Amino acid sequence: MKGFLKLENGEIFEGELSGNTDKEVYGEAVFFTGMTGYQEVMTDPSFNGQVVVFTYPLIGNYGINLTDNESKKPQPAALVMSECHKTGHHYACDKTVEKEAAEAGIPILTGLDTRALVKRIREHGDMGAVITTNPDKIDVASFTPIGERQLVADAAVKKVEIFGEGSHHVVLVDFGYKESMVTSLVEQGCKVTVVPYDMAEEEIHQLNPDGLLFSNGPGNPKQLNSFLPAYKRLAETYPTLGICLGHQLLALAFGGDTEKLRFGHRGANQPVQDLETKKVYITSQNHSYVVKENTLNESDFSILFKNINDGSIEGLVHNTLPIITVQFHPEAHPGPADSEEIFHKFMEQLRSKGRETAYA
């Protein structure tokens, strides 16, 4: 069936629509540059509410398997790609991308010039977009933009979940966590208790954690402003790791500010430099917001990582407390193990109970 993507600036791209074709779908048009990793993108809750445009021209060639999902359901509002592979060739392939999307009610638009679309997004910035069969009727600007929506309530767990039996107890404050985060922690010898982002502080203390992980999640961190004082008190009490949205929230909680990039970082080869060791990591990323330069109190945090492409802040370390935060995804595997080191540092802090040993 013929379908269209209409951008907030009025531009229309025509393609072939499959999956959910019965209703209009609104989301934020963003692009992902990885050649692989589409299954992780489809199930990462941080993509909730987004129309994901894949720059790699063929998606779905190794299908969808039963082990690499990052959450229980596909998350983006819609998928846009040049071509979607019809079968998927891999010994572990369980179903096709089309089938996975159709079962989840997610439309896929193919057969359009994704290069032109991505260039447009790079010029204008991430924009609202609607996938529809009737673009003339649609006013994209009439939909509430992603930055004004509270997406975390939908993406995060509603009830406590427990994983692993390790001797270090990590409470993962959930905003829409990726399952690989739990896997990484369990592999490091942790028991992980996942709790809803709005769990009362007192209840978190009662769980008696050795450390906290503030997870990734969708949307604008400022939608969670009312929780920041509690997050600050918690981070001041336990060794803490913040990842992506978690990093942004901790920066806000300690008085910093965040801003939206013109177009986000979404891909598997974002170069990030550790400013102390000068070591460069090739990282997986998926974010629109960043911590704003010069807004952090220098007596609190030092900048630990920067993005080599655009110089944006990619990680922080507290100067006196055991708090590490990263904008990138240390749990992801764009190569074999990459930035897994971040989890090792966090574990060192847990083992020493972290009070006097800040990240070094």
Ligand X SMILES: NC(=O)CC[C@H](N)C(=O)O
Which residues contribute to the annotated binding site for L-glutamine? 46, 217, 219, 245, 248, 286, 289
Quick one: which of 149, 168, 287, 318 contacts ligand X (CB under 6 A)? 287
Q: Enumerate the known binding-site residues.
A: 46, 217, 219, 245, 248, 286, 289
Q: In this complex, which beta carbon is closest to ligand X, that of residue 180 or of residue 286?
A: 286
Helical packing angle, 228-237 and 245-253, nearest 10°: 90
Q: In this complex, which beta carbon is closest to ligand X, that of residue 17 or of residue 155?
A: 155
* Unique residue bearing structure tokens 């404050």: 173
Residue 283 as a binder of ligand X (CB under 6 A): the answer is no
Considering only 31-39, 110-118, 188-196, 284-292, which stretch makes contact with ligand X by CB under 6 A? Answer: 284-292
CB-based contact 211:359 (threshold 8 Å): no
Find the shortest distance in angstroms from Cβ 202 to ligand X: 26
Nearest to 249 by CA among 214, 299, 286: 214
329 is catalytic: yes
Find the shortest distance in angstroms from Cβ 177 to ligand X: 9
84 is catalytic: no
- Number of CB atoms found within 10 A of residue 224's CB: 22
Q: In this complex, which beta carbon is closest to ligand X, that of residue 110 or of residue 216?
A: 216
Find the shortest distance in angstroms from Cβ 251 to ligand X: 12
Find the shortest distance in angstroms from Cβ 331 to ligand X: 11
* Unique residue bearing structure tokens 């993962």: 172
- Number of CB atoms found within 10 A of residue 344's CB: 10
What is the end-to-end Cα distance of the chain in Å, rounded? 57
- Number of CB atoms found within 10 A of residue 324's CB: 25
- Number of CB atoms found within 10 A of residue 202's CB: 8
CB-based contact 2:118 (threshold 8 Å): no
Considering only 94-102, 159-167, 233-241, 281-289, which stretch makes contact with ligand X by CB under 6 A? Answer: 281-289
Residue 240 as a binder of ligand X (CB under 6 A): the answer is no
Buried b / exposed e along 181-193 (16+ C-beta atoms within 10 A): bbebbbebebbbb
Site for ligand X, residues 176 to 235, rule: CB under 6 A? 216-219
The alpha carbons of the chain give a radius of gyration, in whole angstroms, of 20
Burial of 297 (0-12, 13-18, 19+ CB in 10 A): exposed
Nearest to 75 by CA among 113, 46, 103, 117: 46
Nearest to 304 by CA among 290, 292, 318, 294: 318
16 is catalytic: no
Q: In this complex, which beta carbon is closest to ligand X, that of residue 75 or of residue 110?
A: 75
Distance CA 213, CA 187 (A): 15
Residue 289 as a binder of ligand X (CB under 6 A): the answer is yes
Quick one: which of 18, 69, 188, 286 contacts ligand X (CB under 6 A)? 286
Quick one: which of 71, 75, 288, 325 contacts ligand X (CB under 6 A)? 288
Catalytic residue among 40, 84, 244, 314: 244
CB-based contact 132:22 (threshold 8 Å): no
Find the shortest distance in angstroms from Cβ 289 to ligand X: 4
Residue 114 as a binder of ligand X (CB under 6 A): the answer is no
Q: In this complex, which beta carbon is closest to ligand X, that of residue 304 or of residue 332?
A: 332
Find the shortest distance in angstroms from Cβ 333 to ligand X: 16
Residue 46 as a binder of ligand X (CB under 6 A): the answer is yes
Total residues binding ligand X (CB under 6 A): 11
Q: In this complex, which beta carbon is closest to ligand X, that of residue 219 or of residue 256?
A: 219
Strand partners, 149: none
Which residues in this chain contact ligand X in the complex, by CB under 6 A? 46, 216-219, 244-245, 286-289
Active centre residues (catalytic)? 244, 329, 331
